[in-house]
């Protein structure tokens, strides 16, 4: 009975998406609740996932804020429906990178770097729906099987064949290509979730276009070439962002659904965590990428947290011109009237490092006045005195 | 030609089936002066950490839930049997309902870190710390607050047990033979385990058994019994060992 | 192909991995010694072990029970443009670099960001930050908390550092928060207090 349901699911999704008319969106496969693993490899993957979840329960990285968790879970349920939603245990991890994961037993994680970069409930739904798609299509397991036989072959090759490097390269390609196909099918089922939800399915493509831009910005910031290509690079586990953006955009246009992306609701829910996630991003030593993320978030105007984060970013890089720019950003934040005390601290330190002791002293004293019990107050006092 | 190749392979295989040149594999550490007389202490056995899987040709660990479940069942049963002949009462740990699981898992993580440090820096040659090399010395512990763990009231000692088995697949074993020809080091299988006794009054690790090449196939009940026997070899307070007659293949 | 050529060609393709044997050395109390291949010296009042493996070219680690249980690391004069410890993936995850213009407030930030990038998570946070005299210069003493990758065991640390002559001098002490941190804190602080250039 269960096997029939899953087989039907696989059959439904196996057909690549081609021009769906608005009234012909294929129905989602019937969902079978309380799925249990049925064979040895699958039980192995579940067991590992169960033990890992024990660790996750205790891990320091998990964000346990009930409001944020309830909000993200609400978006998941609105995207995939209540039945599917109940099978998932969702964890928010404080990791400053764009990622979300799904494991064989229904544990889903989304990272704070993703929450920082997404801009609406629809985009969040696109990411969560994609991850759920992996679970529904039992992808974790097939990936593992394929990877195992690939590495076995490589181990043999390195022993028996003197000049085995060519064989090794193409075998690596083999199991990465398998992952690419899985990612594509998860993308497509994700679009279908969006299509049947109240969110616009165009949101999925939006996400990838921005991620592409950021990857280019990071590369340029590190003095490397920007290289978003159409065909997936040999080692890419995911189709390139451009390829994804393209086929997702095509699928969304074919569906031509509307709906509200709920950008404002998303921003409001993230607001308490935004300064923390921005700080985590700035500390990554990725100037180009961080500038890009900030500029994207500032599309509707530079708010105080964004200006403060930009000041921190430039001050961290610390070249002489950066310090001047940083001082400018802190000042802009201060001029808005709702800047935290740390803005004065940043301004003072940027000026001090830029050899402007007088104005630095004024700013740092203002910081101490506003936050006399700051953790670094004694240290800043010493700096001011000298 | 073919006969020559076969002869070479046969020679290599037989060489390998004799002693594998590895360092001393098993060690016990006891706090100097520690002794435990039978019938004098209450010991709590914490949930053993058990991991069983296969090792693919390339050395990747493949978890196997069936094996692990079997191993857990067998090891639990073997421990239950062994518990009664350790000279003292050994009861299973029961996690209290409202207890914070984080603190227990923090202690288990600390035990693992300490046991690994003992193995890396005292037991086996190659990386010993000079201060840990002195004769008869064994100073390790988890700190005095371990007695405050919920559910340990009334106990004198806590017993921690960890085993990990990666069974070398056929592919890996054959690879090992060919690798020997090429002088590439390839080990088949991982079978490690440690058992440690912690004095709950002081937090000291009074006894630790570590073995990087454990015997007994834990997926079978007699193999698990052999494993548990090895883990608890020299357990303090055990009355003089009854002769063991099981001769299972390694 | 003859057997000999077969064996030789396979052997040629094989990697010979020589185990890196870098012995651990006993540090006796009482004498003043140089650390981290630099002009930084300390005078320990109790014995320690020095690990043969170094975190970086101008760094060195001492321990009592193994670096996972207590870790006293010295960084001796890291110069402008260099990182605190070795980059594991310089292309994609470059560590921040020391700069000669760094202020004392930038020292904990450098340690924090280096650890965040090396550990791959945001679970590294700075606690208290205070001015302190260090190695004859105006320095900073700071505390922090973090977790190693793949572990749940919480760890704590205390660092002391100063910028002297445009170079960073730093001593950090780290241990699991449970029991081990407090156990060797006094001994570690004594060593750091004795630091001189």
A-contacting residues in B 92-111 (Cβ below 8 Å):
101-102, 105-106
Q: What is the mean pLDDT of residues B149-163?
A: 88
Residues A38 and A158 in one domain: yes
The pLDDT of residue C169: 97
Instruction: Say if A289 falls within a structural domain.
Output: no
Phi, psi angles (nearest 5°) of residue A42:
-70, -40
The pLDDT of residue A73: 95
| pLDDT higher than 80, residue B93 | yes
Query: What are the distances in angstroms from CA B186 to CA A4, B54, B172, B203?
Result: 44, 15, 8, 39
Q: What is the mean pLDDT of residues B236-250?
A: 53
Mark yes or no for CB contact C49/B129 under 8 Å. Answer: yes
Query: What are the distances in angstroms from CA A350 to CA A307, A335, A363, B233, C89?
Result: 14, 17, 10, 64, 29
Please count the CA atoms within 13 angstroms of the CA of A114 that sit on its side-chain side: 21
Res. A240 pLDDT band, cuts 50 70 90: low
The pLDDT of residue A30: 59
The pLDDT of residue B18: 36
Q: What is the DSSP letter of A300?
A: G
The pLDDT of residue C13: 37
Q: How far apart are CA B117 and CA C121, in angstroms?
A: 25
Residues A247 and A124 in one domain: yes
Is residue B86 classed as helix, strand or coil in its secondary structure?
Answer: coil
| pLDDT higher than 50, residue B151 | yes
Contacts of C154 in chain A (CB under 8 A): 60
A161 in contact with B, Cβ within 8 Å: no
pLDDT in tens, A325-356: 999 999 999 999 999 999 999 999 999 999 99
Which residues fall within 8 angstroms of residue A83, CB to CB, at 6 or more apart? A31, A33
Residue A180 Cα, gap to closest chain B Cα (Å) = 22
Mark yes or no for CB contact A160/B102 under 8 Å. Answer: no
Res. C14 pLDDT band, cuts 50 70 90: very low
Of the ranges A79-83, A176-180, A298-302, B213-217, which one carries the lowest mean pLDDT score?
A176-180
The pLDDT of residue A307: 97
For testing the chain A interface, which of C14, C88, C105, C122 should be mutated: the one with the most A CBs within 10 Å? C122
Q: What is the mean pLDDT of residues C135-143?
A: 94
The pLDDT of residue A168: 36
The pLDDT of residue A172: 34
Please give the residue that has the higher pLDDT: either B214 or A268: A268
Decide if C72 contacts C172 (C-beta within 8 A). yes
The pLDDT of residue C17: 34
The pLDDT of residue C178: 94
Domain extents in chain C: 26-193
- What percent of chain B is modeled with pLDDT above 90? 14
Q: What is the mean pLDDT of residues B154-170?
A: 85
Q: Which of B106, B144, B184 sits opposite C153 (nearest CB)?
A: B106
Which residues fall within 8 angstroms of residue A278, CB to CB, at 6 or more apart? A116, A294, A305, A306, A308, A309
Instruction: Say if A275 falls within a structural domain.
Output: no
Nearest to C173 by CA among C44, C37, C34, C80: C44
The pLDDT of residue A111: 87
Q: How far apart are CA A95 and CA C99, in angstroms?
A: 27
| pLDDT higher than 90, residue B120 | no
Domain C26-193 belongs to what topology? Protein Transport Mog1p; Chain A (3.40.1000)
Instruction: Say if A267 falls within a structural domain.
Output: no
The pLDDT of residue A121: 94
The CATH class of B27-231 is alpha beta
Q: Which of A244-253, B69-78, B94-103 has the highest mean pLDDT?
A: B69-78
Decide if A269 contacts A260 (C-beta within 8 A). no
Mark yes or no for CB contact B59/A160 under 8 Å. Answer: no
Residues A317 and A219 in one domain: no
| DSSP H or E segment with residue B16 | helix B2-17
Nearest to C123 by CA among A142, A59, A246, A21: A59
The interface predicted TM-score of the complex, written ipTM, equals 0.83
Contacts of A47 in chain B (CB under 8 A): 63, 65, 68-69
Contacts of A154 in chain B (CB under 8 A): 58
Residues A46 and A109 in one domain: yes
A162 in contact with C, Cβ within 8 Å: yes
pLDDT in tens, C93-130: 889 999 999 999 999 999 999 999 887 777 889 999 99
pLDDT in tens, A288-329: 989 999 999 998 899 999 999 999 999 999 999 999 999 999
Nearest to B162 by CA among B223, B205, B209, B216: B209
Of the ranges A177-191, A309-323, B10-24, C45-59, which one carries the lowest mean pLDDT score?
B10-24
Res. C18 pLDDT band, cuts 50 70 90: very low
For testing the chain C interface, which of B8, B12, B110 should be mutated: the one with the most C CBs within 10 Å? B110
Q: How far is CA A183 from the centre of its chain?
A: 15
Whole-prediction pTM: 0.77
Of the ranges A21-35, A98-112, C145-159, which one carries the lowest mean pLDDT score?
A21-35
Please give the residue that has the higher pLDDT: either A386 or B214: B214
Q: For chain C, give the mean pLDDT.
A: 87
| pLDDT higher than 70, residue B242 | no
Instruction: Say if A366 falls within a structural domain.
Output: yes
Res. B85 pLDDT band, cuts 50 70 90: confident
Res. B236 pLDDT band, cuts 50 70 90: confident
- What percent of chain B is modeled with pLDDT above 70? 73
Please give the residue that has the higher pLDDT: either B146 or B57: B146
| b/e map A219-258, b = 16+ CB within 10 Å | bbbbeeeeebeeebeeebebbbbbbbbbbbbebbebbebe
Q: Pull the structure tokens for residue B17.
A: 């089936």
Q: What is the DSSP letter of B122?
A: I
Mark yes or no for CB contact B178/A160 under 8 Å. Answer: yes
A217-A219-A224-A226 Cα dihedral, nearest 10 degrees: -60
Q: How far apart are CA A95 and CA A20, in angstroms?
A: 37
| DSSP H or E segment with residue C176 | strand C167-176
Residue of A nearest to B181 (CA): A159
Res. A150 pLDDT band, cuts 50 70 90: very low
Residue A298 Cα, gap to closest chain C Cα (Å) = 23
Res. A180 pLDDT band, cuts 50 70 90: low
- The terminus-to-terminus CA distance of chain C in angstroms comes to 65
Q: What is the mean pLDDT of residues A172-190?
A: 61
Domain extents in chain B: 27-231
| Other Cβ atoms closer than 10 A to A299 | 8
Mark yes or no for CB contact A94/C101 under 8 Å. Answer: no
Range of the domain at A369: 302-385
Res. A5 pLDDT band, cuts 50 70 90: very low
Q: Which of A160, A164, A376 sits opposite C129 (nearest CB)?
A: A376
| pLDDT higher than 70, residue B24 | no
Which domain-ending residue is among A240, A255, A270? A255
Number of domains present in the structure of chain A: 2
| pLDDT higher than 60, residue B179 | yes
Instruction: Say if A294 falls within a structural domain.
Output: no
Interface A-C, measured as beta-carbon pairs within 8 A, has a size of: 91
Q: For chain A, give the mean pLDDT.
A: 76
C121 in contact with A, Cβ within 8 Å: yes
Contacts of A378 in chain C (CB under 8 A): 129-131
Of the ranges A54-63, A160-169, A172-181, A257-266, which one carries the lowest mean pLDDT score?
A160-169
Nearest to A41 by CA among B87, B66, B203, B30: B66
Residue B88 Cα, gap to closest chain A Cα (Å) = 32
Residues forming a β-bridge with B162: B49, B194
| pLDDT higher than 50, residue A157 | no
Q: What is the mean pLDDT of residues B200-204?
A: 92
| pLDDT higher than 80, residue A22 | no
Mark yes or no for CB contact C154/A283 under 8 Å. Answer: no
Helix axes of A320-335 and A304-317: crossing angle, nearest 10 degrees: 160
pLDDT in tens, A39-89: 655 555 555 556 556 656 656 678 989 999 999 999 999 998 888 888 888
Q: Which of B58, B64, B178 sits opposite A154 (nearest CB)?
A: B58
Contacts of C121 in chain A (CB under 8 A): 61, 94-95
Nearest to B201 by CA among B43, B70, B54: B43
Is residue B43 classed as helix, strand or coil in its secondary structure?
Answer: strand
Residues A249 and A161 in one domain: yes
The pLDDT of residue B188: 67
A376 in contact with B, Cβ within 8 Å: no
Q: Which of C101, C105, C116 sits opposite A376 (nearest CB)?
A: C105
Q: What is the mean pLDDT of residues B138-143?
A: 92
Which chains would you list as touching B if contact means 3+ CB atom pairs under 8 Å? A, C
pLDDT in tens, A89-115: 888 988 888 888 776 667 788 889 999
Q: For chain B, give the mean pLDDT.
A: 77
Q: Pull the structure tokens for residue A156.
A: 């043999």
Residues forming a β-bridge with B29: B208
Please give the residue that has the higher pLDDT: either A249 or C63: C63
The pLDDT of residue B3: 60
C154 in contact with A, Cβ within 8 Å: yes
The pLDDT of residue B152: 86
Q: What is the DSSP letter of B197?
A: E
The pLDDT of residue B143: 92
Residues A46 and A125 in one domain: yes
Interface B-C, measured as beta-carbon pairs within 8 A, has a size of: 85
Q: What is the mean pLDDT of residues A120-143?
A: 78
The pLDDT of residue A18: 38
Query: CATH number for the domain including A379?
Result: 1.25.40.10
The pLDDT of residue A230: 40
The pLDDT of residue B34: 87
B5 in contact with A, Cβ within 8 Å: no
Q: How far apart are CA C12 and CA A327, in angstroms?
A: 60
Q: How far apart are CA B225 and CA B248, in angstroms?
A: 10
pLDDT in tens, C166-191: 999 999 999 999 999 999 999 999 99
Contacts of B132 in chain C (CB under 8 A): 49, 65
Q: What is the mean pLDDT of residues B73-90?
A: 84
């Amino acid at each position: 009975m269960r096997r029939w349901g899953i087989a039907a699911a696989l059959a439904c999704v196996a057909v690549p998406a081609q021009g769906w008319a608005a009234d012909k969106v294929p129905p989602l496969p019937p969902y079978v609740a309380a799925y249990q693993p049925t064979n040895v490899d699958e039980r192995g993957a579940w067991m590992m996932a169960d033990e890992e979840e024990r660790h996750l329960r205790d891990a320091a990285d998990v964000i346990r804020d009930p409001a944020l968790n309830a909000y993200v879970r609400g978006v998941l349920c609105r995207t995939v429906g209540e039945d599917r939603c109940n099978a998932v245990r969702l964890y928010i991890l404080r990791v400053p990178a764009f990622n979300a994961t799904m494991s064989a037993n229904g544990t889903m994680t989304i990272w704070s770097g993703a929450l920082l970069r997404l801009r609406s409930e629809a985009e969040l739904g696109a990411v969560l729906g994609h991850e759920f798609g992996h679970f529904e299509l039992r992808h974790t397991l097939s990936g593992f099987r394929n990877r195992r036989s690939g590495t076995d072959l490589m181990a043999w090759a390195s022993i028996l064949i003197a000049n085995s490097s060519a064989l090794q390269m193409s075998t690596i390609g083999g199991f990465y290509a398998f992952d690419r196909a899985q990612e594509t099918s998860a993308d497509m089922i994700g679009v279908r979730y969006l299509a049947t939800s109240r969110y616009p399915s165009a949101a999925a493509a939006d996400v990838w276009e921005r991620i592409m831009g950021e990857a280019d910005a990071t590369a340029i910031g590190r003095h490397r070439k920007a290289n978003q290509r159409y065909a997936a690079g040999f080692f890419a586990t995911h189709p390139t962002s451009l390829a994804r953006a393209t086929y997702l955009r095509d699928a969304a246009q074919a569906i031509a659904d509307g709906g509200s992306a709920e950008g404002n609701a998303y921003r409001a829910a993230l607001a308490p965590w935004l300064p923390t996630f921005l700080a985590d991003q700035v500390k990554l030593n990725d100037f180009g990428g961080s500038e890009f993320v900030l500029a994207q978030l500032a599309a509707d105007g530079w708010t105080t947290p964004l200006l403060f984060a930009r000041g921190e970013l430039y001050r961290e890089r610390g070249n002489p011109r950066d310090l001047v720019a940083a001082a400018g950003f802190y000042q802009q934040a201060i001029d808005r009237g709702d800047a935290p005390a740390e803005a004065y601290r940043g301004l003072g330190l940027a000026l001090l490092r830029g050899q402007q002791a007088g104005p630095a002293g004024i700013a740092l004293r203002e910081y101490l006045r506003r936050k006399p019990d700051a953790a670094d107050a004694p240290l800043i006092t010493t700096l001011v005195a000298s | 030609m073919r006969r020559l190749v076969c002869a070479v392979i046969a020679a290599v295989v037989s060489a390998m089936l004799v002693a594998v040149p590895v360092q001393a594999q098993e060690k016990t550490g006891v706090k100097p002066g520690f002794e435990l007389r039978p019938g004098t202490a209450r010991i709590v056995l914490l949930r053993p950490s058990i991991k069983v899987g296969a090792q693919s040709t390339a050395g990747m660990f493949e978890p196997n839930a069936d094996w692990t479940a079997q191993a857990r069942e067998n090891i639990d049963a073997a421990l239950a049997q062994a518990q009664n002949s350790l000279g003292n009462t050994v009861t299973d740990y029961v996690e209290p309902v409202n207890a914070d699981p984080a603190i227990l898992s923090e202690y288990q993580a600390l035990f693992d870190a300490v046991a690994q440090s003992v193995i890396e820096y005292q037991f086996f040659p190659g990386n010993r710390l000079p201060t840990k090399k002195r004769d008869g010395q064994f100073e390790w512990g988890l700190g005095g607050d371990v007695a405050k763990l919920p559910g340990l009231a009334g106990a004198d000692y806590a017993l921690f047990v960890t085993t990990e088995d990666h069974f070398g697949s056929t592919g890996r074993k054959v690879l090992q033979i060919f690798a020997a020809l090429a002088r590439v080091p390839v080990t088949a299988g991982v079978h490690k385990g440690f058992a440690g006794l912690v004095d709950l009054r002081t937090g000291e690790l009074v006894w630790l058994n570590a073995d990087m090449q454990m015997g007994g196939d834990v997926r079978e009940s007699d193999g698990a019994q052999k494993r548990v026997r090895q883990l608890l070899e020299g357990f303090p307070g055990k009355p003089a060992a009854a002769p063991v007659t099981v001769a299972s293949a390694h | 192909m003859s057997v000999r050529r077969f064996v030789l060609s396979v052997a040629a393709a094989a990697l010979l991995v020589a185990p890196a044997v870098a012995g651990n050395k006993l540090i006796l109390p009482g004498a003043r010694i140089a650390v981290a291949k630099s002009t930084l010296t300390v005078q320990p009042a109790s014995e320690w072990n020095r690990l043969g493996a170094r975190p970086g070219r101008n760094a060195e680690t001492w321990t009592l029970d193994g670096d996972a249980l207590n870790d006293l690391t010295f960084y001796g004069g890291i110069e402008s443009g260099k990182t605190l410890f070795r980059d594991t993936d310089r292309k994609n995850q470059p560590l921040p670099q020391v700069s000669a213009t760094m202020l004392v407030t930038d020292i904990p930030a450098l340690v924090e960001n280096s650890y965040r990038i090396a550990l791959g998570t945001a679970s590294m946070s700075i606690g208290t930050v205070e001015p302190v005299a260090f190695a004859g210069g105006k320095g900073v003493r700071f505390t922090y908390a973090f977790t190693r990758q793949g572990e749940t065991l919480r760890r704590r640390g205390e660092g002391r550092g100063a910028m002297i002559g445009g170079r960073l001098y730093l001593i950090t002490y780290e241990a699991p928060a449970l029991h081990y941190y407090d156990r060797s804190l006094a001994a570690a602080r004594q060593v750091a207090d004795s630091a001189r250039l």
